[in-house]
Structure 1
Amino acid sequence: MVEISVKKIDNNFIIRWQLSKVEIPASEILNVHLDDTYGGDKKAAIRIGLPYGTTDRVVIETKKQTYILFTSNPSAIMKKLSA
């Protein structure tokens, strides 16, 4: 399985998974939290990663959009996003 990559470059977070790349300005992020629902509460959210039973969900709420990251390593992603 290909894991989601999160890096901070300047004031942007770069999220990569397979051939996808999403840039989120740090100043746009309102909230980052874990979600225990299978597909996430937000219907219009952008979903990144493979949703299956053993993955955790990291939710990034921004001023314009909500992102749900399906990952097997939520603590590493939460740590990078809170830096």
Structure 2
Amino acid sequence: MIEVSVKKIDNNFIIRWQLLRVEIPANDILNVGLDDTYGGDDKEAIRIGIPYGTTDRVFVQTKNQTYILFTSNPSAIMKKLSA
């Protein structure tokens, strides 16, 4: 299974999964955390990754959009996004 990846380049975070590439300016991020619901609280959120029983969900709330990242390694993703 292909995992969601997050990299910080300059002042932007690049989220990649399969052919998807999302670029988020670091100063647009308002909140990052774990989402304990299956599909996420925000019904309009962009979901990245495959939701299955053992994945955790990390939400990234920006000024304009919320993203939910389905991952098996939430601590690594949250650490990168919190840097």
List gaps (5 residues or longer) in structure 2: none
Q: Is 1:22–2:28 an aligned residue pair? A: no
SS of match in other structure, 2:60: strand
* Aligned-partner residue type, residue 58 of structure 1: V
Alignment correspondent of 1:76: 76
Alignment correspondent of 1:45: 45
What do residues 20-53 of structure 1 show as CA deviations (whole Å, max 9, x unaligned)? 0000000000000001100000000000000011
Count of aligned positions: 83
* Aligned-partner residue type, residue 28 of structure 1: D
The alignment's TM-score, normalised by the length of structure 1, stands at 0.99
Aligned equivalents of 2:4 and 2:44: distance in 1? 20
After TM superposition, what 4+ stretches of structure 1 lie above 2 angstroms from structure 2? none
- CA RMSD in angstroms comes to 0.3
TM-superposed CA distance for 1:62, in Å, is 0.3
